Amino acid sequence: MLLKTDGLVIREKGTGESDRFVTLLTRDYGVLYAFARGARSLKSEKQSGTQLFAYADFTVSRGKDAYIVTEARVREVFFKLREDVEHLALSQYFCELTGLLAPQETPAEEYLSVLLNALYLLSSGKRPQPFLKAVLELRLMSISGYMPDLVGCAKCGTYESAEMFFDRREGCLYCPDCAEHGEPLTPGVLAAMRHICFAEPKKLFSFTLSDAGLQKLAVLTEGYMHTHLNHYFKTLQFYNQIKTQ
Ligand SMILES: [Zn+2]
């Protein structure tokens, strides 16, 4: 059986003399693990389409024990991401998180679209790192079943006040009158969180927030993710060690 779909190489490992074992995030089949025979040979037609961050049209066949990449026609390689160590580290984290949350062998169009847009905006410098990190974390959490309830105060329904409180374990909001605990949110940070959770896909990356607000937002979305995913992200730890923003 041959599968044809576009997708992104989110992980790549050399194996054998010149083979690669790749993890693909594909539009039509979600996460696929596949061998690309001879792909590390410079003469191979699959060489550039099976490297990390390559976005390509893939043809994949189902072998006895694993999938095999038979064709990889490159559309984009995001080469600029490799020129900056922070961009590289953050991109690897984006790939690790998306690979963990996206479904396997099931369509994953929105996951692919969020990740491709985040990599594009990062490599072109069009959005700051905390912005992209917060959007990717909270949006992917939301579409994979961990959407927090941000409609209003969980007790009285209040939609907005000068300060609201976010309970990261319960994934809900409290107004100042009802809050017994939780992290304080400014109206700007709360509006950004609501946008990330509720915006239609095309408008996901279209909002603004102050630099200070973005820093808070990125810390908050990371905390929310850690609270609900029992996973140690080596790539994130590395990024947090080296980042300057
Ligand atoms: Zn309340």
pLDDT band at 198 (very low <50, low <70, confident <90, very high): very high
Q: Please give the distance, rounded to the nearest whole angstrom, from the Cα atom of residue 58 to the centre of ligand 1.
A: 51
The pLDDT value recorded for residue 245 is 66
Residues 116 and 209 reside in one and the same domain? yes
Residues 62 and 87 reside in one and the same domain? no
Q: Please give the distance, rounded to the nearest whole angstrom, from the Cα atom of residue 179 to the centre of ligand 1.
A: 7
Q: Please give the distance, rounded to the nearest whole angstrom, from the Cα atom of residue 174 to the centre of ligand 1.
A: 5
The pLDDT value recorded for residue 185 is 96
Listed residues 58, 77, 96: the one ending a domain? 77
Q: Please give the distance, rounded to the nearest whole angstrom, from the Cα atom of residue 8 to the centre of ligand 1.
A: 44
Q: How many domains does the chain have?
A: 2
Residues 98 and 55 reside in one and the same domain? no
* Full domain range(s) for residue 198: 82-242
Per-residue model confidence as pLDDT tens digits over 53-90: 999 999 999 988 789 999 999 999 999 999 999 999 99
Give the predicted TM-score (pTM) of the model.
Answer: 0.95
Per-residue model confidence as pLDDT tens digits over 221-236: 999 999 999 899 999 9
Residues 164 and 234 reside in one and the same domain? yes
Residue whose token pair is 């074992």: 21
Tokens at residue 56, please?
Answer: 């390509």
Residues 146 and 166 reside in one and the same domain? yes
Q: How many CB atoms lie within 10 A of CB 2?
A: 9
pLDDT band at 42 (very low <50, low <70, confident <90, very high): confident
Residues 184 and 120 reside in one and the same domain? yes
The pLDDT value recorded for residue 145 is 97
Q: For residue 108, give the CATH number of its domain.
A: 1.20.1440.120
Residues 33 and 139 reside in one and the same domain? no
The pLDDT value recorded for residue 66 is 84
Between helix 85-101 and helix 129-141 the angle, nearest 10°, is: 10
Residues 103 and 207 reside in one and the same domain? yes
